[in-house]
């Protein structure tokens, strides 16, 4: 077995790029759903996000919330895409984090993929990044699968950060120089 111990079984057969190319179809399988409490968006309307990972080039269309519940299969695919690309380790991503992204995309009224700069980070990767940069928190929400650094293709990251702050549902950091927004499901705070 590879170092991707949390990798979905389909990924083992198809390989990384083949898996992610077909993941949209896998996410559409509704046989395995999780009834988790929904805090972010009150509506039961379907929620789909599109991602492109800036470091791996992988893409994913993720209909992660269908019929009033989160799709287990789709969440596993999201976990894999948002893995620590340096180590290959994946971690469960907090579904309300996806709801924040969905709401940001709705507020922006811009149907484009989120460009992922960083999702989950292993403790080792986070320690290395923290050692090399004062901008990386020692106890980052990334380690818990509760944070993501993104930009919305073709949309102002400044405006996206303003929308994120208006939601008041977690931490929001705006990194103008690197052109991305950090959002997390931790306590409300801004930088």
Q: Which residue has 């077995």 as its token pair?
A: 1
Those residues of the chain that have pLDDT short of 70 are 1-42, 134
Question: Is pTM beyond 0.85 here?
Answer: no
Residue 42: the pLDDT is: 54
126 occurs within a structural domain: yes
**Which residues are bridge partners to 180 per DSSP?**
175
CATH number for 74: 3.30.1380.10
- Domain interval for residue 51: 9-190
Q: Which residue has 């120089």 as its token pair?
A: 177
- Asked whether the beta carbons of 151 and 173 are under 8 A apart, the reply is no
Q: How far apart are CA 186 and CA 4, in angstroms?
A: 27
Which of helix, strand or coil describes residue 150?
strand
Instruction: Look up residue 190 and give its two tokens.
Output: 């801004």
Residue 53: the pLDDT is: 98
* DSSP assignment letter at 96: H
Task: Using CA atoms of 180, 143, 48, 168 in order, give the dihedral in degrees to the nearest 10.
Answer: -70
- Asked whether the beta carbons of 82 and 148 are under 8 A apart, the reply is yes
72 occurs within a structural domain: yes
3 occurs within a structural domain: no
Q: How far apart are CA 52 and CA 65, in angstroms?
A: 19
Residue 131: the pLDDT is: 82
- Asked whether the beta carbons of 19 and 8 are under 8 A apart, the reply is yes
CA torsion sign for 128, 85, 32, 46 is positive
CB neighbour list of residue 43: distance below 8 Å, 6 or more residues apart:
none
154 occurs within a structural domain: yes
80 occurs within a structural domain: yes
4 occurs within a structural domain: no
What's the structural domain count of the chain?
A: 1
1 occurs within a structural domain: no
């Amino acid at each position: 077995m590879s170092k991707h111990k949390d990798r979905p079984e389909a990924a083992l057969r198809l390989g990384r790029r083949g898996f992610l190319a077909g993941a949209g179809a896998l996410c559409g399988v509704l046989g395995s759903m999780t009834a988790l409490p929904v805090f972010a968006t009150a509506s039961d309307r379907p929620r789909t996000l599109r991602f492109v990972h800036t470091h791996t080039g992988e893409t994913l269309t993720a209909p992660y919330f269908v019929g009033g519940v989160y799709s287990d299969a789709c969440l596993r695919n999201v976990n894999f895409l948002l893995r620590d690309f340096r180590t290959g380790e994946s971690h469960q991503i907090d579904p309300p984090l996806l709801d924040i992204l969905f709401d940001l995309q709705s507020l922006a009224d811009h149907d484009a993929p989120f460009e992922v700069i960083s999702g989950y980070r292993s403790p080792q990767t986070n320690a290395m990044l923290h050692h090399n940069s004062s901008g990386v928190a020692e106890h980052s929400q990334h380690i818990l699968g509760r944070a993501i650094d993104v930009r919305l293709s073709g949309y102002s990251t400044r405006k996206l950060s303003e929308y994120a702050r208006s939601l008041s549902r977690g931490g929001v950091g705006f990194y103008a120089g690197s052109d991305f927004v950090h959002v997390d499901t931790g306590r409300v705070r801004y930088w």
